[in-house]
Structure 1
C-alpha cells in the first residue's frame, strides 16, 4: 500500500507543476456593480471603489479650439492667498503697539500724551484728572495741549471723521494741527471780567491750521475763503458740529477769524450743538 501511495504522488507532481499561471476565474467586467455579499472572505469581498477622477472635457463638434480647453489645467500652480506676515513684521507691529499703549491716555491708544492729574487754577479754573495730549490718531499737535479726556476723545473723533477725510491725500496728507490755545484761565474771547471760557476748565481747544506732509499748511486766516483750501476747511468746521458742543470759526465773529474754537460744554449738560 505504501508503494502504491508513493507511485500516485509521483504521478500527481507533474500535474501540479503544469497548473496554469493565472486563475481560471473570469475577470470582472469593467464598470460592473460591486457585489453586495456580506462575506468576509478576501476572495469574495467587493473591490474598493476607485477614487473619482476629473471628468474629461468632451470636444464639441465644430467648436473653436479654446472651447475644448480643459479648464482644470488653468488653475494657478499655487494659492493666491498672501503669505503670513514674517516674524520680523510681526515683531515690528508688536513694538509699535507697545509704544502706543505706553504713551496712550484716556484708555485710547490713538490719543498720545501723558496723564498729569488735577490742574489747579485761580477761582473756578482748573481741570479734574487732566491729560497733556501730544498727538491724536497719528496727527501731531504743534504744542502739547492740556484738557480732560472728554475733550481729548472728541478731538480724536473729529480728526478721524472731519480732518482726515477733508484733507485726503492733498500735500501728502495731514501730519500736524497748529494749536493756539488749550487750557487757559480767562474770560470768553480774552475779555477781562467776562464769563469764564471753557478753556478755563480744560474743555476747549483752538486750532489755527493744518500742516501737510509736503511742508505746506492750510490756515484759517489765509485760506478760509480761498479757492485752494476754503472748501476743505469748511468741511472740517461742519464735521465738528455735533462732535463738539460748541463750534466757532471765522464766520462767527472777529475774535475767531483766524481759528476754530471747539469745546465740549454742551456735551456735558445736554442740549443741541452750537455751530457758527
Structure 2
C-alpha cells in the first residue's frame, strides 16, 4: 500500500464508487415537451431563384431548349404584362393629324422619264412628229424664208420617202389630215410610206416668172406624189388617181387653206398640193 502512494489510493476509491453507482441499463432520452399545433409558426412563402433570361444563354439551341422547358414556368411565375389602352385624348389627336395630312401622290418619275424619252427626236412639241429643228431659213428674195423651220422625216408612225422642210403649223395640219382624211379614205389599206414630191423652195407660184412667192417659199406647203401600202402595192397620183385618193384629197379641204390636185389648174397633175396659207372666208380647194 505504501508503494502505491496516496494519489493512487484516491483514484482507486473514486473508481469503486463509480462502479457502485452505475445503473444496470442506459437511460433513454426524455421526450420533447408537447407543443400545440396552433403554437407552430406559420409557414412563410418559399423563395425560388429567379430564372436566367433566355437571351443570355450562349447558343441558339440552348436558348430554344431552355425556352421550351421554362416557358410554362415563366408564365406561372411572371405573366407577361399587357399594354395599357391608349388615352382617349391622344387617340383623338392622332386621328386629327392623320386626316390633316394629304394622301401620298403616286409615283410620277417613271412616267416623266417615259414622256421625255418619247419626245426625244420629235419636233413641234408633238411626239408623233419625228424630225429635227433647224435654224431660221433666210433668203435674199423678199417673202421667202421660215422663222422656225423643222425637218420632218415621219408623222404618226408613217415615214416619208424624203425629209420635208416646213413650219410646225404645216406639220400639225398634215398629221391631222393623215388621221382624219388619209386613213379613213384608204379603209383597210395601211399606208407605210408617203412619197414627198416637194416642200420648202424659194420660188414663185407654179414657177411662173413675176408671180407671187409660192407658199412653198414660206415653208407652209407640202406636195404628195403617192402612197406605199403594207401589202407592197403603191398608188401614185399621176397613175392611180382613183376614188380613194380623191376622197383623201377632199378630206384635206378645211384642214389646209389650199388643196390642189389633178384637174385643178394644169400644174398639179402628178401630185397633191396642200398649204396652210391664211385665206379670207373658206378654203380654196380644187
- Partner of 1:256, secondary structure, is coil
Q: Cα distance, 1:99 vs. partner?
A: 4.7
Unaligned runs of 5+ in 2: 1-109
TM-score for both structures, normalised by structure 1: 0.60
- Tell me how far 1:273 sits from its aligned partner: 0.2
1:97 to 1:215, Cα distance in 2 relative to 1, 3 A: farther
Distance 1:241 1:138 in 2: 23
Distance 1:255 1:95 in 2: 48
Asked if residue 129 in structure 1 is aligned to residue 148 in structure 2, the reply is yes
Deviation of 1:144 (Å): 0.6
CA shift, 1:121, in A, is 1.8
Aligned equivalent of 1:115, options 130, 133, 153: 133
- What pairs up with 1:189-268 in 2 under 5 angstroms? 189-224=206-241, 230-266=242-278
Q: Which consecutive segments of 4 or more residues in structure 1 shift more than 6 A?
A: 93-96
Shift of 1:143: 0.6
What residue is the counterpart of 1:227 in the other structure? none
- In 1, the alpha carbon distance for the partners of 2:233 and 2:118 equals 27
Match of 2:167 in 1: 148
Residue 284 of structure 2 corresponds to which residue in structure 1? 274
Secondary structure at the aligned position of 2:263 is classed as coil
Specify whether residues 97 and 221 from structure 1 end up closer, same or farther in structure 2 by C-alpha distance, changes over 3 A only: farther
**Structure 1 residue aligned with 2:177:** 158
Deviation at 1:192, TM superposition (A): 2.6
Q: Partner of 2:48 in structure 1? A: none
Once residues 198 and 115 of structure 2 are traced to their aligned partners in structure 1, the CA distance between those partners, rounded to angstroms, is 30
Counterparts of 2:154 and 2:117 in 1: how far apart (Å)? 13
The structure with the greater share of residues assigned to strand is 1
TM-score computed with the length of structure 2 as normaliser: 0.58
What displacement does 1:100 show?
Answer: 3.3
Q: Quick check: 1:174–1:213 contact (8 Å CA) kept in 2? A: yes
CA contact (8 A) 1:111 1:135 kept: yes
- Over the aligned positions, Cα root-mean-square deviation in angstroms equals 1.9
Q: Secondary structure at the match of 1:255?
A: coil
Q: Distance in 2 between matches of 1:169 and 1:95?
A: 35
User: Residue 195 of structure 1: CA displacement?
Assistant: 1.4
Give the superposition deviation at 1:102. 0.1
Cα distance in structure 1, aligned partners of 2:113 and 2:228: 27
> Which SS does the other structure have where 1:163 is aligned?
helix
Q: How many residues align?
A: 176
